[in-house]
Structure 1
Amino acid sequence: MDSNIQLVKSVLRYTYGIVPIVAGLDKFTNLLTDWSQYVSSGLSDMIPLEAGSFMMVVGVIEIVAGVLVLLKPKIGALIVMGWLTAIAVVLVLSGNYVDVAVRDLVMAVGAFSLAKLYQIEPA
Structure 2
Amino acid sequence: MDVKDLLKYTYGLVPIVAGLDKFTNILTDWSQYLGAGLQDTLPFEASTFMMIIGIIEIIAGVLVLVKTKIGAIIVAAWLTLIALVLIFSGHYLDVAVRDLVMAIGAYTLYKLSTD
Q: Normalising by the residue count of structure 1, what TM-score does the alignment of the two structures yield? A: 0.91
Q: Distance in 2 between the 1:8 and 1:67 partners?
A: 19
Q: Bigger radius of gyration, 1 or 2?
A: 1
- Corresponding residue of 1:81: 76
Cα offset for 1:119?
3.8
Q: Distance in 1 between the 2:70 and 2:77 partners?
A: 11
Whichever residue aligns with residue 43 of structure 1, its letter is L
Superposed CA RMSD in Å reads 1.2
- Corresponding residue of 2:87: 92
Q: Normalising by the residue count of structure 2, what TM-score does the alignment of the two structures yield? A: 0.97
Whichever residue aligns with residue 34 of structure 2, its letter is V
Cα offset for 1:101?
0.2
Q: Report the number of matched residues.
A: 115
Cα offset for 1:105?
0.1
Q: Distance in 2 between the 1:69 and 1:92 partners?
A: 26
- Corresponding residue of 2:6: 11
Q: Which runs of 5+ in 1 are unaligned?
A: 1-5
Q: Structure 1 residue runs of 4+, over 2 Å off?
A: none
Q: Give aligned-pair identity as a percent.
A: 67
- Say yes or no: does 1:117 pair with 2:115: no
**Secondary structure in 1 aligned to 2:106?**
helix
